[in-house]
């Protein structure tokens, strides 16, 4: 249920609706829009009577939300979610490129990459301090030391940091360094972790699970939103199908329905999506043309020496070339790189 308020509704009007919602044992979510405020509610198992609200002062109407996801749906919030960060804004017409190596391998390579990206005009750096690896015997990331190196890059180059959280126990340590906390594909339905980042006050980049439907993905976002963290960014990174020409099947076709069903911004990760360097630029350009809000791209100073994901990482010249092609395309599509 969504209670839509008059433009002239007062703070007291809003408070009264909030109290009625609480009196039903439900959780109110005050959602300010560009012209008017709406108040969502979650927690009900049965339908709620709209008459509870429709007579109250300042209330225009009470609308049933038909999708199983509520706070994530366009029904509840028709305006696009825009996430303003000190380093740049995500959503709302901007096209955000988040770039960097798969993992923080050491201080020298990370700072070198950060410096290069900053010079290009990139505003967000991605790199993992904690790495989810299929094998328990593979390199698992530098952990806390990796976080410290990321904090350095943030300070020296003014880049926003995007890094993955894998374990509830590390939530505070990661949230302290990260400007955006990444939840990986394999944890998309790790509900304990979703609830935990829902209580962080940092935006969350939620990767799509390897075989998640769009509805399940938005339900996972709902877990975060329902805890009061409304700054969720979706990220398509390839799904698993029978197809074997690429490491995963990058599903650009999810972008239009994601935009239709939800107000959340959506990024695309063509590096994991294709698993092959040569395929990254065409898919990056296609993501922009398809309406995505940005990209997550793996860049490494020496991809052939990378500890993980080398074959899908761009080197510096390849990234520079892609950046210029994106800029030209963004212009004709009226998007801001």
Hey, which residues between 79 and 108 contact a second copy (CB under 8 A)? none
Please check whether residue 95 is in contact with residue 326, taking contact to mean a CB–CB distance below 8 angstroms. Answer: yes
HEC assignment per residue over 166-228: CCHHHHHHHHHHCCEEEECHHHCCCHHHHHHHHCCCCCEEEECCCCCCHHHHHHHHHHHHHCC
Task: Determine the straight-line distance between the first and last CA of the chain, rounded to whole angstroms.
Answer: 37
How many residues at the interface with a second copy, by CB under 8 A?
74
For residues 113 and 302, give the distance between their C-alpha atoms in angstroms, rounded to a whole number.
Answer: 10
Neighbours of 184 (CB within 10 A): 22
The yes or no reply on residue 328 touching a second copy (CB under 8 A) is: yes
The nearer residue to a second copy, 59 or 269, going by C-beta atoms, is 269
Q: Measured from the CB of residue 77, what is the shortest distance to a second copy in angstroms?
A: 17
Q: Per CB under 8 A, which region of 74-82, 102-110, 233-241, 309-317 contacts a second copy?
A: 233-241
Q: Measured from the CB of residue 164, what is the shortest distance to a second copy in angstroms?
A: 12
C-alpha closest to that of 164 among 187, 148, 195, 145: 187
Helix, strand, coil percentages in the chain from 3-state DSSP, rounded to 5:
40, 20, 40
Taken in order 202, 336, 79, 192, the sign of the CA dihedral is negative
Strand arrangement, sheet containing 2-5: 27-32, 37-42, 2-5, 59-63
Among 189, 310, 311, 318, binds a second copy (CB under 8 A): 189
Q: Taking CB under 8 A as the criterion, which residues in 144-173 touch a second copy?
A: 166-169
Is residue 38 classed as helix, strand or coil in its secondary structure?
Answer: strand
Among 11, 46, 47, 260, binds a second copy (CB under 8 A): 260
The yes or no reply on residue 19 touching a second copy (CB under 8 A) is: no
Q: Measured from the CB of residue 253, what is the shortest distance to a second copy in angstroms?
A: 4
Q: Measured from the CB of residue 139, what is the shortest distance to a second copy in angstroms?
A: 8
For residues 238 and 180, give the distance between their C-alpha atoms in angstroms, rounded to a whole number.
Answer: 21
Q: Which two tokens stand for residue 292?
A: 């995505």
The nearer residue to a second copy, 154 or 335, going by C-beta atoms, is 335
The nearer residue to a second copy, 3 or 9, going by C-beta atoms, is 3
The yes or no reply on residue 308 touching a second copy (CB under 8 A) is: no
The nearer residue to a second copy, 66 or 134, going by C-beta atoms, is 134
Q: Taking CB under 8 A as the criterion, which residues in 200-219 touch a second copy?
A: 210-211, 213-216, 219
Q: Per CB under 8 A, which region of 36-44, 85-93, 151-159, 313-321 contacts a second copy?
A: 36-44
DSSP run (H or E) holding 268: strand 266-268
The nearer residue to a second copy, 113 or 274, going by C-beta atoms, is 274
The yes or no reply on residue 199 touching a second copy (CB under 8 A) is: no
Q: Per CB under 8 A, which region of 110-118, 152-160, 249-257, 296-304 contacts a second copy?
A: 249-257
Dihedrals phi, psi of 160, to nearest 5 degrees? -70, 140
The nearer residue to a second copy, 69 or 116, going by C-beta atoms, is 69
Among 12, 34, 46, 244, binds a second copy (CB under 8 A): 244
The yes or no reply on residue 45 touching a second copy (CB under 8 A) is: yes
Buried b (16+ CB within 10 A) or exposed e, 273-299: bbbebebbbebbbbbbebebbbbbbbb
Q: Taking CB under 8 A as the criterion, which residues in 268-287 touch a second copy?
A: 273-274, 276, 278-279, 282-283, 285-287
The nearer residue to a second copy, 80 or 251, going by C-beta atoms, is 251
The yes or no reply on residue 181 touching a second copy (CB under 8 A) is: no
The yes or no reply on residue 291 touching a second copy (CB under 8 A) is: yes
């Amino acid at each position: 249920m969504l209670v839509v308020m008059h433009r002239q509704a007062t703070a007291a009007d809003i408070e009264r609706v909030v109290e009625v919602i609480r009196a039903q044992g439900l959780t109110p979510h005050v959602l300010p829009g560009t012209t008017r405020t709406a108040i969502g509610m979650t927690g009900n198992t049965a339908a709620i009577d709209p008459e509870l609200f429709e007579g109250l002062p300042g209330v225009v109407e009470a609308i049933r939300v038909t999708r199983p996801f509520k706070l994530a749906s366009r029904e509840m919030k028709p305006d696009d979610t825009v996430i303003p960060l000190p380093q740049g804004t995500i959503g709302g017409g901007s096209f955000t490129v988040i770039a960097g190596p798969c993992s923080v391998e050491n201080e020298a390579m990370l700072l070198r990459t950060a410096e290069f990206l900053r010079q290009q005009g990139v505003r967000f750096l991605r790199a993992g301090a904690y790495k989810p690896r299929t094998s328990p015997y593979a390199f698992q990331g530098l952990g806390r030391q990796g976080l410290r190196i990321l904090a350095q890059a943030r300070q020296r180059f003014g880049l926003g940091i995007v890094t993955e959280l894998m374990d509830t126990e590390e939530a505070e340590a990661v949230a302290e360094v990260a400007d955006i906390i990444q939840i990986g594909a394999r944890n998309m339905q790790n509900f304990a972790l979703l609830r935990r980042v829902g209580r962080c006050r940092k935006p969350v980049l939620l990767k799509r699970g390897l075989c998640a439907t769009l509805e399940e993905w938005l339900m996972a976002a709902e877990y975060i939103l329902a805890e009061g963290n409304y700054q969720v960014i979706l990220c398509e990174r390839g799904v698993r199908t029978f197809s074997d020409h690429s490491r995963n099947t990058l599903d650009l076709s999810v972008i239009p329905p994601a935009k239709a069903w939800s107000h959340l911004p959506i990024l695309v990760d063509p590096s994991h999506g294709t698993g092959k360097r040569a395929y990254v630029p065409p898919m990056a350009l296609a993501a922009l043309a398809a309406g995505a809000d940005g990209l997550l791209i793996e860049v490494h100073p020496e991809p052939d020496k990378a500890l993980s994901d080398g074959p899908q990482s761009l080197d510096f010249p390849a990234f520079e070339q892609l950046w210029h092609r994106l800029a030209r395309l963004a212009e004709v599509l009226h998007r801001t790189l």
